[in-house]
Amino acid sequence: MADDLLNSYMSGPDEQGRFGIFGGRFVSETLMPLILDLQAEYEKAKTDPAFAAEMEDLQVNYVGRPSPLYKAERLTERLGGATVYFKREELNHTGSHKVNNVLGQILLARRMGKTRIIAETGAGQHGVATATVCARFGLKCVVYMGAHDVERQQPNVFRMRLLGAEVIAVRSGRGTLKDAMNDAMRDWVTNVHDTFYCIGTVAGPHPYPAMVRDFQSIIGRETRTQIMAAEGRLPDTIIAAIGGGSNAMGLFHPFLDDPSVRIIGVEAGGKGVDARMEHCASLSGGRPGVLHGNRTFLLQDDDGQILEGSSISAGLDYPGIGPEHAWLHDVGRAEYVAITDDEALAAFTLCCETEGIIPALEPCHALAHIAKIAPALPPEHLIVLNLSGRGDKDIFTVARHLGVEITA
């Protein structure tokens, strides 16, 4: 058993929260006691049947799991070649995969006696999920959101406020996800006595990257069961878009020790991965550094200053990536590519036209890469895309880029 763990891609992180040279816990002394308490509480919860039972009940009866694994027949026919399946996380309550993680973290917060929940959000999906679960349990909710993202994600801002959350527009930096996370961490340091920070991705200080991954891994576990029922075997390729990387890690992790399964993460290539740095492809165009409590690949200048990324997708507009993704890239278990804004927009239209599904711009990056590789593959090649969110939040952004004016 010990040898199996040593040879497994699923055994990390180590006791220090590291995946190889990535991850760790780079936080102030003020936060260390809270971080250690969270880690201890999570370790207890993992083996507590009552915690597991409450999670399962909420996943089934509140979130609506399991989410379907859907064979995209018209898309498959249009592309020619490989057979494409969608893991339909956009059908979850709140409209994305984010609620999987939020449920787990807020149940932990309640066990720890915390009454105030803070969160960062980019596209607003994590913010909506956090506001939703806080409303369900009667907890105070404060969501930090970059001012630029507030402007381009108005539907989700309104949803959060309807759900009783206070939405704080962050105007520092470029007003995107990085800046929202900076302000959320400042809040946390100031209010450690009653506040729980519900981080929305597989980043941050240990134990967050592993904890968020574990809560999101229900995606991959369900996919294994569903594809076996549909096809009698595992998929040949699994693919997901990556900002911080929680939806991707949720799909990838249960397949890491299956060498027959090709794993592809798709970063936001913005206006192109080149010297202009108008993208958010940390693995394709960045290098290792420390941000938000962990060591990972980051977009940074020669002096180590974090650069402002660029993406049409608010949810991928982050200059870093989760440390486990950085490690998987480093060891070669997963491959990472970049897709531009224009390619993602074309995939958005393709999905609408062929499948009658309006997807979020985030998974459209992964769909765009499928459109590149599927035609050259045989029909028996099975591809599973994590369709991580629905696109009603993005219709104003898409309309603007397509030159269409929407009036109330």
Q: Compute the residue count for the chain.
A: 408
Q: Which amino acid is at 341?
A: D
From 178, 267, 388, 393, the catalytic residue: 388
Q: What is the largest CA-CA distance in the chain?
A: 62
From 89, 120, 222, 324, the catalytic residue: 120
Tokens at 222, concatenated: 């369900």
CA distance 227 to 81: 18
Q: Report helix, strand or coil for 153.
A: coil
Pairing of strands 140-146, 237-242: unpaired
CA distance 376 to 262: 15
H helices of 232-319, in order, are 246-252, 282-285
Residue 345's Cα: distance from chain center in Å? 19
Q: What is the DSSP string of 191-229?
A: TTTTEEE---SS-SSTTHHHHHHHHHTHHHHHHHHHHHH
Tokens at 295, concatenated: 């060591």
CA distance 343 to 401: 12
Q: Which residue bears the tokens 């998929």?
A: 235
Backbone angles phi, psi at 35, to 5 degrees: -60, -45
From 87, 98, 114, 393, the catalytic residue: 98
CA distance 138 to 13: 34
Q: Are 386 and 251 in contact (CB under 8 A)?
A: yes
Q: Report helix, strand or coil for 164.
A: coil
Q: What is the DSSP string of 298-331?
A: E-B-TTSPBPP---S-GGG--SB--HHHHHHHHH
Catalytic residue flag (residue 388)? yes
**Which H/E stretch holds residue 146?**
strand 140-146
Backbone angles phi, psi at 272, to 5 degrees: 125, 140
Which residues are designated catalytic?
98, 120, 388
